[in-house]
Amino acid sequence: MIVRIILSWYPQTALTNPPWIYIAVPNELLLSVTRKVILLVEIVDISPIVWFMIMSSVHEILVGPQGLLVLLSRK
């Protein structure tokens, strides 16, 4: 997803050519749904950034220093 964020800064990159296709295809399902909900900002696609923020938040909630799984494992 981090590489996809960097590629979103370069919209002229052809994501249908190797090696970019191997990065683009697995993420495209999530990103296509997000693009329908969130509009493009200028010409930059921010949907990978949105998913990175969501994944980081979920990670922090579950296994961060005060995460649910950490607190449950201390019992």
Rounded to an integer, the average pLDDT of 11-26 is 81
Query: Distance of alpha carbon 24 from its chain centroid, rounded?
Result: 11
Confidence (pLDDT) at 60:
93
Distance CA 66, CA 46 (A): 29
Rounded to an integer, the average pLDDT of 12-37 is 83
- What is the per-residue pLDDT across 35-47, written as a single tens digit (0 to 9) for each? 888 876 667 777 8
CA distances from residue 52 to 16, 17, 65, 68, 71 in whole angstroms, order as listed: 22, 24, 19, 20, 24
The pTM score is 0.65
SS3 content of the chain, % helix, strand, coil (to 5): 65, 5, 35
